[in-house]
């Protein structure tokens, strides 16, 4: 069995999935805060990025309300996880 086949079998056995991480950056500091969107997880990277593309306001809106003018910027990205989905 090739190492590629072993890798695929490992991924299938441990249930790889993707989650959205929101990184918030603030004025006057190098501090960042990361939040994980726990309402939904995704079976693949493409579905995760598609959800981000279609739901930016849903994902960042409450953070804009909470942090107001202190919020300088934000990033939304997908991260892979292993184990049981949320």
Res 8: pLDDT = 54
22 phi and psi angles, rounded to 5 deg: -110, 120
Across the chain, which has 86 residues, the per-10-residue mean pLDDT values are 53 79 96 95 96 97 95 97 72
Res 83: pLDDT = 83
Res 3: pLDDT = 56
Res 9: pLDDT = 55
């Amino acid at each position: 069995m090739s190492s590629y086949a072993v890798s695929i079998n490992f991924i299938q056995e441990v249930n790889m999935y993707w989650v959205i991480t929101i990184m918030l950056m603030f004025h006057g500091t190098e501090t960042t805060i990361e939040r994980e969107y726990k309402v939904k997880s995704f079976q693949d990277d493409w579905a995760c990025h598609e959800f981000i593309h279609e739901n930016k306001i849903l994902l960042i809106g409450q953070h804009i309300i909470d942090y107001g003018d202190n919020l300088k910027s934000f990033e939304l990205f997908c991260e892979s996880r292993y184990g049981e989905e949320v």
